[in-house]
Chain A
Amino acid sequence: MKKLFRVIATVGAALTLCAATASAGNLVIKGSTTVLPISQLAVEAYMKAHPDVNISLSGGGSSNGIKAIIDGSTDIANASRFIKNKEVALAQEKGVYPVPFAVAYDSIIPIVHPSNNLTNITRAQLKDIYMGKITNFKDIGGPDLKIVVCSRDTSSGTYETWEGKVMNKERVSPAAQVMASNGAIVQAVSNNKYALGYIGIGYVNDSIRPLKVDGVEGTKESTLNGTFPISRPLFMFTNGWPKGDTLNFVNYMLHPEKGQKHVEAAGYVPLY
């Protein structure tokens, strides 16, 4: 019995020690998987420059990030869309004042398998495909293949932007496959000659083929000059006007020589 008490006492002491050594400089960043590649580079570089600050970064989707800002479980929310009125109302109820910082520009690029010879697609065609009206690539000048529509889960800001800029309030058909991240869409499309998906410009690589939309190629230039039809700013939201480590990190993100260089390195379009 005595032995047991001693064990309990030791464990207890160890736990208190652990709690006491938790460091002061901690930042939590959550949200959009589209903003994730930028954040990863920025967080790595920032932690190298400031070894005293610990930053934990995770994805999960824009809605998850904004929800986390509202319930106070994150310092910065990455979002690939602007905050919705519903979310603002909820934030006000909880006494939270979300502040948006645009950190980069992005275009949403429709992608197909590299073997697919389709090069151009119109927004009207995209809408019909995602509604389930067009089901074969041959109807839009491609090969005779059934289309497997890949979409994103409802937490995704990319999905919300897609709904706004392509679907015009029409619903994505329930037959569409649902993936939880940009990475999962790339993975699915690169392995499937039937697939059609959409991703943030930072995820475009050689394993898939990006399509022109309405004849415009999605590039940095067409994003910046507004000719590419499906583009948007990417945001970081903070709870109230940022202070301390949060402020330093946001300033770092917006710095043309620091954070904005990471934006470019991640394949997105810098603000300056």
Chain B
Amino acid sequence: MANRRQTTERSMQALFFIIATASISILFLIMLFLFKEGLPIFKTVSVTDFVFGKYWYPTSDPADFGIFPLIVASVAVTAVSGAIAVPLGVMTAIYLSEIATPRVGEIVKPVVELLAALPSVVIGFFGMVLVAPFLQRIFDIPTGLNLFNASLMLAFMSIPTICSISEDAIHSVPGALREASVALGATELQTIVRVVVPASLSGISTAIILGLSRAVGETMVVLMVAGGAAMLPGSIFDPVRPMPASIAAEMAEAPVGGEHYYALFATGIVLFIFTMLFNIVADHIAHRYSQVGEASL
């Protein structure tokens, strides 16, 4: 009897190990493929020309492969969407966890998480058809398909992530800390700002970075509402073309094994490095500021 149980136990362990190894190795192979297909472009274009080149004319003769405008667009869109989503997401999380009555929380939290269920193409369509003409009217700008519109839509997409992970982090701050703070005569607001938020900082930072990395890699939305002009934006109302939009728009037409094809994969490498940096930073923060015991602020 015991023997059979051991066999089952061991075979189960083996099964899980095989599945885990398979998924990790597949991911590793994808990465390998990305580099294999992307690196050949650097035979024709130097790395600095590629990363800092200002002109992206992949199909002209002679072609120009400079992705600097695309990188700047990606960074700008992510930064602006972060500036919108972080305050909203974190404050919503604080409200839900600390201030709202349990009944309100039970209603509002699922609603916020429902936002995450909206398909990106729907958000993109919304931005293209409703938000773009609206922005154009309100700000009297030449085009509604621009950096700001894209950031707004991406903020929509990252708020649920930021809000729900932050909420979990704030929720898990031990009650004893709150009680101690109130016992020393702090008001509720002081408790939140000085005690609860610092104690859950690592969770909140992780939430922010996960939300932003969703914005960096988002393709459909930027393809639909960013405007697609491959130039350095002069203001937040200029049309831009972030890296994922460029890859998605051109991959289908680039002949396999041509320079254009390699250049798009190389753009993918740059994007990959970006998101990887994001995740490394998130990991680092999570370890660095993680709470050990109740009194370590």
Contact = CB atoms under 8 A, between A and B. Distances in A.
Interface residues of A, number: 29
Given A153-B228, A155-B250, A174-B230, A195 B255 contact: no
A216 interface: no
Interface string A136-163: 0000000000101000011100000000
Most B CB contacts (10 A, CB to CB) among A61, A67, A175, A178 go to A178
A70 B255 CA distance: 9
Interface in B117-137: 128-129, 132-133, 136
Contact of B231 (A64, A174, A192, A194): A174
Contacts of A171: 57, 60
Contacts, number: 73
B228 A60 contact: no
Interface in A183-202: 187-188, 191-192, 194-195
A179 B229 contact: no
Nearest to B231: A174
A187 B60 CA distance: 27
Nearest to A156: B253
Contact of A154 (B59, B128, B142, B223): B59
Contacts of B55: 174
B193 interface: no
A212 B223 CA distance: 31
B252 A195 contact: no
B211 interface: no
Contacts of A148: 142-143
A194 B146 CA distance: 14
A148 B133 CA distance: 14
B57 A64 contact: no
Contacts of B56: 174
Contacts of A176: 229
Given A148-B142, A174-B231, A195-B143, A154 B253 contact: yes
B253 A192 contact: no
Given A64-B252, A155-B250, A177 B58 contact: no
B255 A67 contact: yes
A188 B228 CA distance: 13
Contact of A174 (B69, B142, B145): B69
A177 B145 contact: yes
B249 interface: yes
B239 interface: yes
Contact of A194 (B128, B142, B229, B252): B142
B223 A153 contact: no
Nearest to A163: B60
Contacts of A146: 142
B237 to A, nearest CB: 11
Contacts of A195: 143
Contacts of A179: 228
Contacts of A41: none
Nearest to A30: B252
